[in-house]
Structure 1
Amino acid sequence: MLSPDNRKIAPAPAMDPSDLTIGDLLDALADHKDKPLVFRYGGCPVKPGYHVTEVKVGKFSALDCGANPESWPEIFVQLWDVDEGGPVHMPAGRFVAIIRKVADHVALDQAARLTFEVSDGIRPMELHRATQPTLVGGIVEVELSPRPASCKPRDRWLEEQKAANASCCGTSGKPCCS
C-alpha cells in the first residue's frame, strides 16, 4: 500500500496479544447474554448505570517517529461511568445489541484494534485496552488497562529480533546465535 506521497506504508506492528478486538469481545459475550457485563478499570468496577455513549470507527493514517507512514483501523467504545441505570449492570446481550446496531450503520472491522474511552463525566476521558472477558461468580468481567504509548519502529525491530531468534534457536535447546 502506498501513502499519498507514494511511499510504501509500513505494516502496523502486531497488536499486543493482551489487546482484544471487537470480534473477540463479541464472540466471548455470545454465550453469556443474560449475565451482567462489568468493565473494571483502575482497580474498580464501572457503576451499575454505565452507558455506552458512543461507538466510533476510525481508519488512521499517520507518520511514525521513524518517518514511516502507518495505517490501521481502530474501534472506540465510549463508556460513561455513571450510576443512572438501576441496581444491576448492563447484561452482556444488551452490550452486544448496541454494537450490532452500530454495525447496521457503520462497517465494523472485526479485527480492528479496540480502545475504550472511559469517563465519569467529571474527570477527563482515559484511553484503555481490554483483556479477554472472564466469568466471575455469574458476572462477565472485562479488565481495562491504560493504553500505553509505543514506538512503532522499535516495536517492529523487536518483533524482527524475536522472529530471527526463534528461527535461529528454534526449540533444539542449542545456544542461541546473537
Structure 2
Amino acid sequence: MNAIDKSVSTDISLGHLLDVLSVAPDAPLVFSYDGSPVRPGYHVTEVKAGMFSALDCGANPEAWSEIFVQLWDIDEDSRTHMPAGKFSAIIRKIADHVQLEPTAKLTFEVSDGERPMALYCAAAPRLVAGSFEVSLSARPASCKPRDRWLAEEQAKSSCCGPTANESKCCG
C-alpha cells in the first residue's frame, strides 16, 4: 500500500488560479490529469459553488466552501487549448449568477464523456513555453482528525520546536 504524503497540500483557490492566469491571458490553458493533458477541445461544462457542513470521523464539526469546475475532456472542431483569458471570462460570467468565493476550496470534476467523473485538486499554474500548465491530482479521502494530529506533530518536530536533546538550532 502506498502512503500518501499529506504534509504538502497541492490545493489552490479559484482566486489564486485566476490571479496567476491574468498574467498572460492569451496563453493556452492546459490541464493535465492521470499523466496526460486534456485534449484541445475541452469544455468547462459547469461550475458549482457550495457551502458544506459536516461531522468528521472524530465527531468534530467541519464547515467549508467549495467550488467545483467540471471539465469535459473532448477533442472537437480542430480547436486549440482554451486561452487563459477565455477560462477567466467563463468564470466571471458564472460569477454574475452564482456567488463564487475566491478563497474557496477548488475541486475539478473531469470526464471524457465515457469514463465516470473523477475528482481532482489543482496545483498552482505554471507558465511553461508560452502555455499555462495546471496539474490535477486525484483527491484522496482523508481523516481530518489524523491530518490535524500529523500537522501538530510536524510542527513539534520542526527545527525551532522542542527536540530530544534540547538543542536549539534557531536560537
User: Do they superpose with TM above 0.5?
Assistant: yes
Q: What per-residue deviation string (whole Å, max 9, x for no partner) do you get for residues 6-39 of structure 1?
A: xxxxxxxxx9532111011001100111111010
Shift of 1:44: 0.8
Counterparts in 2 of 1:138 and 1:107: CA distance versus 1, 3 Å: same
**Matching residue of 1:41:** 33
Tell me, in whole angstroms, the C-alpha distance in 1 between the residues paired with 2:138 and 2:91: 22
Q: 1:74 aligns with which of 66, 81, 103?
A: 66
**Matching residue of 1:130:** 122
Counterparts in 2 of 1:87 and 1:76: CA distance versus 1, 3 Å: same
Tell me, in whole angstroms, the C-alpha distance in 2 between the residues paired with 1:81 and 1:107: 26
Q: State the SS of the aligned residue for 2:116.
A: coil
**Matching residue of 1:168:** 162
Q: What per-residue deviation string (whole Å, max 9, x for no partner) do you get for residues 122-153 of structure 1?
A: 00001001101111211111000100111000
**Matching residue of 1:26:** 18
What are structure 1's unaligned runs of at least 5 residues? 1-14
Counterparts in 2 of 1:51 and 1:154: CA distance versus 1, 3 Å: same
Tell me, in whole angstroms, the C-alpha distance in 1 between the residues paired with 2:47 and 2:77: 19
- Is residue 35–residue 139 contact of structure 1 (8 Å, CA) maintained in 2? yes
The structure in which a higher percent of residues are helix is: 1
Tell me, in whole angstroms, the C-alpha distance in 2 between the residues paired with 1:114 and 1:50: 18
TM-score by length of 2: 0.87
Code of the residue aligned with 1:172 in structure 2: it is K
**Matching residue of 2:4:** none
Q: State the SS of the aligned residue for 1:32.
A: coil
- Is residue 74–residue 114 contact of structure 1 (8 Å, CA) maintained in 2? yes
Code of the residue aligned with 1:96 in structure 2: it is S
**Matching residue of 1:58:** 50
Alignment root-mean-square deviation, CA: 2.1
Tell me, in whole angstroms, the C-alpha distance in 1 between the residues paired with 2:111 and 2:105: 20
- Runs of 4+ more than 6 Å apart: none
Tell me, in whole angstroms, the C-alpha distance in 1 between the residues paired with 2:78 and 2:23: 24
The size of the alignment, in residue pairs, is: 161
Code of the residue aligned with 1:143 in structure 2: it is S
Q: 1:121 aligns with which of 106, 113, 116?
A: 113
